A and B are shown apart, each in its own frame.
Chain A
Amino acid sequence: MEKTYKIEVDCANCAEKMQEAAKMTEGVADATVSFMTLKMKVVFEEGADEKAVMKKVLKACRKVEPDCEIEI
């Protein structure tokens, strides 16, 4: 399962940090953030509930960048 989400973030380094935070989240197999297109591609682990996982991803991202937004 793979999905792309729109994100909002101000600086490139913060986007990098969001990517790392998303990768570390439980249920996420892999994540890529493109600062240029303001998009986050998330590959979910087998059988993961994407909505619940994305909530966790957003929480983790807020930790590293309080101002960021993910359109879930």
Chain B
Amino acid sequence: MSKKQKKVLFRIILSAVLFIIISIFRPEGYFELLYLMPYFIIGYDILRKAVLGVAHGEVFDENFLMSVATVGAIGLREFSESVAVMLFYQIGELFQSYAVGKSRKSITALMDIRPDYANIEKDGKLVQVSPEEVKTGDTIVVCAGEKIPLDGVVIDGFSTINTSALTGESIPRDVNVGDDIISGCVNMTGLIKIRTTKEFGESTVNKILDLVENSSMKKSRSENFISKFARVYTPAVCYGAVALAILPPLIRMFFMNTEPMWSDWIARAFTFLVISCPCALVISIPLSFFGGIGAASKCGILVKGSNYLEALSEAGYIVFDKTGTLTEGVFRVKNVYAKENAVVMQDIAAAQGSVGKENNTAIQGSVDREGNVTTQSIDIRERVLEIAALAESYSPHPISSSLREACAAEIDQSRVSQVEEIAGHGVTALIDGKKAAVGNAKLMDKFGIAYEECKETGTVVYVALEGEYLGCILISDVIKADAKEAIKSLKKAGIKKAVMLTGDNEAAAGEVSEELGLDEFHAELLPADKVDCVEKLLNEKPSKSKLIFVGDGINDAPVLTRADIGIAMGAMGSDAAIEAADVVLMDDDPQKIALAIKISHKCLRIVYQNIVFALAVKAVCLVLGAFGIANMWIAIFADVGVMVLAVINATRALSVKK
């Protein structure tokens, strides 16, 4: 409990005790004024705010309503009721602020990944400094049980780290010297030294905290609806109250010729005013969204705003960029085919004779294991692979790294010059002064190179040198183990159409699509085509259902932005993806998408429950109040009680069933 809350609690107790004592003596006449003592103890701040409010032209706020209602009651000589109303109102307010504070705390505790300090070695002693003070390239020491404060590389020691605060993944990860390490994880076992690669402001942990903290700034449609509604509702009820106080007595007086019963109608108007506060709605809706976002981040799903959480619940279409989302994104060279007797090849072999020698023995070894290939063709195949690997040596693309991995020869980048990447085609480069073209069939067509088409499924990289086709390399990607299950649970979560986009060839894409049970696939796309494809789907879908695009965050920023909801996967440590996407999955488990949708459904269900519940109770109480059936107590329940119930319901959004 905060200091402010404790003070209120003290006033409540003091005033309640006085109130009870006075009530026991049942004072009469002027002694009834004794009731003013507990009244002012409990209500002075509200009266003060009411006066200030009127002075500032803010007439219809809660404080004003409570003041008018209780002062009115005193005017009607209902002293005890007036104190009781004020007392009950304050208890309700205290409870509400306590409940909100509590849920605010439990949500922030979920995201309690902010490191408090970093250990720096100075003169052989460990000194704790604030993470902001550590510069890039500094060495920090992380002991067992401590949070890793900054992103970096392990330079000494080995340990097991717990990434669950970031990814929701409970299985710890081993780290050794040379491994990248991400801030926000917890070092579990050994002492490690880390050379930082980023400042705190740029580190993963700070980025995530920023993102989550700012997420409640992007408000959802429901939230905007409620604030607009509140702006109309409160004055409307207030004018209604004025009308209720004046019109019926006047009608009774002039048209019905009966007694006007002023005090009765004014009391009803006060009841009306107390019910009018829209707080239950105004607080519980953002609280539900905040809880939902908190629940999601506990599972390693970062949602950048309430609006996106809301949109997720309306998702009908999902578009995957194949690589890295449905497939591992880890490519392996499956096969290499070389054209026999290529003219350029012999030149190279001659020119490179001395360089190649050492490598040749290595190649020979692998041949023996395979057995049935002649030394001659293996040599050429290895050459094809080497040219491809050299040409692609500057590219971070997974396909390029698979080429480098498969290539037995050492890759000497100084042999490569004038590398030019042609998006969606491949690369051209000068290798040992000869013009190499490495890429897909389109690249070969572009340069008018005759090639033999490879019929196998997978990604085919064609290699040509000096305009002559040398051979091709077959690379394939592995489908993620849980991808099929993920598509199934997405369908269960309300997704109507699952589409896959890929730059791969038709056959490979078709195979993956069939295996996963997707509804549609588009193959052989250039990066720009992907935007067009998504654009087309956006036009074709019914306006109410939202389109999700899932990418691995590499090269797909434009599509991530264009889609209704852009999800980046496996984004831990990738700034670009965190920047461009609306929802960020910290690990690369496709099942998390369905989980995110489920969380959003639950959250929205709670939001609607609260809206309907609060409005219904208020409407009923207003009607009862107008007919004089509901008294001040019911009115206070309609105000404070509904709010407390709505807040309690909203906190349900925090828990997730996995």
Q: How close is A65's CB to chain B, nearest CB, in angstroms?
A: 8
Q: A32 is contacted by which of B48, B49, B53, B217 (Cβ under 8 Å)?
A: B217
Encoded as 1 (CB less than 8 Å from any B CB) or 0, chain A from 29 to 72 comes to 00010111111010000000000000000000001101100000
Chain B contacts for A64, CB-based, 8 A:
56, 58
Residue A16 is within 8 A (CB to CB) of chain B in the complex? yes
Cβ-neighbour of A66 out of B53, B100, B278 (below 8 A): B53
B154 CB → nearest A CB, Å: 34
In the complex, what's the smallest C-beta–C-beta distance from B278 to chain A, in angstroms? 6
Given contacts A10-B97, A35-B283, contact A63 B58 (CB under 8 A): yes
Q: Which of chain B's residues have a CB closer than 8 A to the CB of A35?
A: 283, 286
B53 touching A13, Cβ below 8 Å: no
Residue of A4, A12, A13, A67 near B49 (CB, 8 A) is: A67
Contacts of B104 in A (CB 8 A): 36-38
Residues of chain A within 8 A (CB-CB) of B227 are 16
B279 with A11: CB separation less than 8 A = yes
Measured between alpha carbons, how far is A41 from B283 in the docked complex, in Å? Answer: 19
Closest to A36 in B: B290
Q: How far is the CB of B210 from chain A (nearest CB, A)?
A: 9
Residue of A nearest to B291 (CB): A36
6 residue pairs of the A-B complex, CB under 8 angstroms, read A10-B93, A11-B62, A11-B97, A34-B217, A37-B290, A67-B49
User: In the complex, are the beta carbons of B49 and A41 less than 8 A apart?
Assistant: no
Q: How distant is A11 from chain B, measured CB to nearest CB, in Å?
A: 6
| A residues 19-36 touching B (CB-CB < 8 Å) | 32, 34-36
> Contact: A11 with B49, CB < 8 Å?
no
Within 8 A of A (CB), among B204-243: 213-214, 216-217, 219, 227, 230
Decide: A13 and B279 in contact? CB cutoff 8 A. yes
Contact: A12 with B279, CB < 8 Å? Answer: yes
* Distance to closest chain A CB from B11 (angstroms): 15
Q: Give the Cβ gap from A38 to chain B, nearest Cβ, in Å.
A: 8
Q: Which residues of A contact B96 (CB under 8 A)?
A: 11
A-B interface pairs (CB < 8 A), number: 59
Closest to A33 in B: B217
Q: Is B266 an interface residue (CB 8 A)?
A: no
Which residues of chain A have C-beta atoms less than 8 A from B97's C-beta?
10-11
The distance in angstroms between the C-alpha atoms of A36 and B217, with both chains bound, is 9
Distance of B5 from chain A, by nearest CB (Å)? 10
Cβ < 8 Å to A, chain B residues 37-58: 48-49, 52-53, 56-58
Complex formed: what's the CA distance from A17 to B56 in Å? Answer: 13
Known contacts A64-B58, A66-B53; decide if A36 and B286 are in contact (CB<8 Å).
yes
Give the interface of A toward B (CB within 8 A).
Answer: 4, 10-13, 16-17, 32, 34-39, 41, 63-64, 66-67
Q: Decide if B282 is an interface residue (CB 8 Å cutoff).
A: yes
| Alpha-carbon distance A22/B279, docked complex (angstroms) | 20
Contact status of A41 and B214, CB under 8 A, knowing A13-B277, A16-B227: yes
A39 cross-chain contacts in B, Cβ below 8 A = 213, 217
**Complex Cα spacing A39 to B227, Å:** 17
Residues of B within 8 Å of A, CB-based: how many?
29
User: A12-B279, A13-B230, A13-B279 provided; 13 other pairs, C-beta below 8 A?
Assistant: A10-B93, A10-B97, A12-B283, A16-B282, A32-B219, A37-B104, A37-B216, A38-B104, A39-B217, A41-B214, A64-B58, A66-B48, A66-B49
Q: Which residues of chain B are near A16, meaning CB under 8 Å?
A: 227, 230, 282
Residues of B within 8 Å of A13, CB to CB, are: 62, 230, 277-279, 282-283
Chain A interface mostly helix, strand, loop or mixed? mixed
Q: Which 8 A-B pairs have the closest CB atoms?
A: A12-B283, A34-B216, A36-B290, A12-B282, A63-B56, A32-B217, A66-B52, A13-B282
Question: A56 vs B62: C-alpha distance in the bound complex, in angstroms?
Answer: 25
- For the complex formed, measure the closest distance between the CB of B345 and the CB atoms of chain A, giving whole angstroms: 59
Residues in B neighbouring A17, C-beta threshold 8 A = 58
A13 to B279, CA, bound (A): 6
Find the A residue at minimum CB distance from B218. Answer: A32
Residue of B93, B213, B217, B279 with highest tally of chain A CB at under 10 A:
B217
Distance between B216 CB and nearest chain A CB, rounded to angstroms:
4
**Assembly CA distance A66 to B279 (angstroms):** 18
Residue of B nearest to A41 (CB): B217
Provide the residues of chain B in CB contact with A63, threshold 8 Å. 56-58
Nearest-Cβ distance from residue A6 to partner chain B, whole angstroms:
11
Q: Is B509 an interface residue (CB 8 A)?
A: no
Q: Once the chains are docked, how many angstroms separate the CA of A37 from the CA of B104? A: 7
**Which of A11, A36, A66, A67 is within 8 Å of B216, CB to CB?**
A36
Residues in B with CB closer than 8 Å to A37 are 104, 213, 216, 290
Question: Please, how many angstroms separate the alpha-carbon atoms of A39 and B219 in the complex?
Answer: 14
Contacts of A4 in B (CB 8 A): 214
Residues 275-313 of B at the A interface (beta carbon under 8 Å): 277-279, 282-283, 286-287, 290
In B75-107, which residues have CB < 8 Å from any A CB? 93, 96-97, 100, 104, 107
Closest to A16 in B: B227
Give bound CA distance, A10 to B62, whole Å.
12
Most buried by B among A12, A35, A38, A67: A12
Q: How far is the CB of A63 from chain B (nearest CB, A)?
A: 4
B56 contact set on A, CB distance < 8 A: 63-64, 66
**Contact status B287-A36, CB under 8 Å:** yes
Bound CA span A34–B216, Å:
6
Q: Using Cβ atoms and an 8 Å threshold, which residues of chain A touch B107?
A: 36
Q: Would you give the shortest CB distance from B47 to chain A, in whole angstroms?
A: 12
Cα A31 to Cα B214 in complex, Å, equals 13
* From B57, B100, B282, B286, contact of A34 by CB (8 A): B286
Q: Which of B56-79 contact A (CB under 8 A)?
A: 56-58, 62
